[in-house]
């Protein structure tokens, strides 16, 4: 059964507009600065978030940095390939050892552009490079800086496991003319970087809008399901990400496609998230016939938190902040915490399944 139909989506969004809803970013004001990635207290105010794409193929059993990322993004950008993950940290100083670093994806930079993200990648396709050039975004690229900021296995292979860290990245920013501090621009700090502006010249009180509107307290809509404990996002025949709810920690623990725990090689911990967002988005094959383009203007989806499931509709503003609405078109914010966000498209038959503790399917739907 499908979660939503386009007619219902349009009605819900129209209802939200007619009620004169306030942008979510304005409803989460607080005296203390909040982290735009988690909605929690900001530990690095005035600093640019760092986003690192890493490999996520079935054979990628060694991944670094998953358990400490504030936000993890996942989407299928090439129908004939596996997904990659994008790990987002609130500042350069917050980046642990992270990898295996993968090719950049313009989809992730599009989702994060309002947060003045600093991209980290190992090469990228034409669309990735075109996007970076268009917005004058400077990435730290393993193919450019090599061992100045990245390390790999001592034995060379055709797929070396390139990895980096906050300390390594900080060591090359000046030579790349990149500032780790936020600028006054909402979209990019290219102007200040090009001018050689130092971090001390940028006000530490600068902030950016949150990607996900989150609250530490407040009224939530009634959950669509109060016992939602297992989740499977199927991106392809052999490409899936799963989650199982852990009541002790109150988080959804991440699983590989075969059901084994997805571990962080830094500490052997299984990655867990407070929030799971699986958002349906229309997609189309680009002119190259190889990569997908996603519509980031609006869609439907689900949110899971604390063993509960909510159905929702969403829109995304020009500053890249999402706005979420319940089945009646009323706006609401997520609960603060670490989040996993997946974009799911119908073009390649992607699918979401959620089950309760008795193993009964709550939802099993292909992306519209």
* pLDDT digits (tens), the chain, 368 positions: 444 444 344 444 444 433 434 334 344 444 567 899 999 999 999 999 999 999 998 777 789 999 999 999 999 998 888 899 999 999 999 999 999 999 999 999 999 989 999 999 999 999 999 999 999 999 999 999 999 999 987 665 556 789 999 999 999 999 999 999 998 754 443 433 333 444 444 444 678 899 999 998 888 999 999 999 999 999 988 889 999 999 999 999 999 989 999 999 999 999 999 999 999 999 999 998 889 999 999 999 999 999 999 999 999 987 889 999 998 899 999 999 999 999 998 777 789 999 999 999 987 554 55
Angle at 26 between CA 334 and CA 41, to 5 degrees: 60
d(CA 344, CA 351): 7
Tell me the CA distances in angstroms from 308 to 140, 179, 232, 234, 341, one per residue in order. 39, 41, 15, 20, 16
Please tell me the distance from the alpha carbon of residue 314 to that of residue 327, in angstroms, as a whole number.
11
pLDDT for 203 equals 42
User: What's the confidence (pLDDT) of residue 319?
Assistant: 82
The residues spanned by each domain of the chain are 6-31+213-366, 50-201
As given in the structure block, the two tokens for residue 339 are 């989040």
Angle CA 323–327–332, to nearest 5: 35
- State residue 157's pLDDT score: 59
Domain 50-201 CATH superfamily: YerB-like (3.50.90.10)
Tell which residue, 66, 167, 134, has the closest CA to residue 180: 167
Query: Cα separation of 170 and 223, whole Å?
Result: 43
pLDDT digits (tens, 9 = 90+) for 106-140: 999 999 989 999 999 999 999 999 999 999 999 99
Q: What is the pLDDT of residues 252-297, one digit of tens each?
A: 999 998 999 999 999 999 999 999 999 999 999 999 888 999 999 9
DSSP designation for 92: G
What does DSSP assign to residue 68?
Answer: G
What is the C-alpha separation between 165 and 360, in angstroms, rounded? 42
Name the CATH code of domain 6-31+213-366 (choices 3.40.50.2300, 3.30.70.3270, 3.50.90.10, 3.40.640.10). 3.50.90.10
> Any idea of the CA torsion for 293, 297, 368, 225, to the nearest 10 degrees?
130
CA distance 154 to 168: 18
Calpha distance 3→163 (Å, rounded):
39
**pLDDT for position 57:** 83
Distance CA 144, CA 244 (A): 39
Give the pLDDT confidence score for residue 17 in this predicted structure.
39
């Amino acid at each position: 059964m499908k979660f939503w139909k386009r007619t219902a989506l349009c009605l819900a969004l129209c209802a939200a507009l007619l009620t004169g809803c306030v942008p979510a970013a304005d409803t989460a004001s607080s005296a203390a600065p909040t982290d735009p990635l988690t909605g929690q207290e900001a530990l690095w105010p005035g600093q640019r978030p760092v986003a690192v794409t890493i490999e996520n193929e079935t054979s990628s059993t060694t991944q670094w940095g998953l358990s400490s990322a504030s936000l993890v993004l996942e989407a299928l950008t090439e129908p004939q390939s596996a997904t990659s993950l994008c790990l987002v940290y609130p500042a350069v100083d917050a980046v642990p050892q992270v990898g295996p670093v993968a090719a950049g994806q313009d989809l992730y930079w599009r989702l994060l552009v309002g947060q003045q993200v600093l991209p980290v990648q190992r090469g990228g396709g034409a669309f990735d490079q075109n996007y970076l050039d268009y917005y004058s975004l400077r990435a730290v690229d393993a193919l450019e800086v090599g061992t100045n900021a990245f390390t790999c296995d001592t034995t060379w292979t055709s797929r070396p496991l390139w990895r980096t860290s906050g300390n390594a990245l900080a060591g090359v920013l000046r030579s790349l003319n990149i500032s780790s501090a936020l600028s006054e621009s909402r979209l990019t700090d290219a102007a200040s970087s090009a001018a050689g502006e130092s971090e001390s010249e940028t006000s530490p009180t600068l902030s950016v809008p949150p990607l996900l509107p989150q609250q530490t307290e407040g009224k939530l809509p009634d959950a669509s399901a109060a016992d939602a404990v297992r989740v499977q996002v199927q991106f392809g025949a052999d490409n899936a990400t799963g989650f199982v709810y852990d009541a002790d920690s109150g988080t959804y623990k991440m699983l590989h496609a075969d059901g084994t725990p997805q571990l962080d090689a830094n500490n052997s911990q299984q990655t867990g998230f407070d929030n799971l967002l699986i958002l349906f988005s229309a997609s189309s094959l680009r002119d190259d016939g190889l990569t997908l383009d996603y519509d980031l203007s609006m869609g439907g989806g689900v949110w899971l938190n604390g063993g509960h499931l909510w159905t929702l509709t969403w829109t995304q503003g020009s500053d890249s902040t999402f706005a979420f609405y319940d089945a009646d078109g009323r706006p609401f914010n997520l609960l603060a915490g670490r989040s996993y966000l997946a974009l799911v498209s119908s073009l390649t038959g992607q699918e979401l399944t959620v089950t309760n503790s008795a193993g009964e399917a709550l939802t099993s739907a292909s992306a519209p």
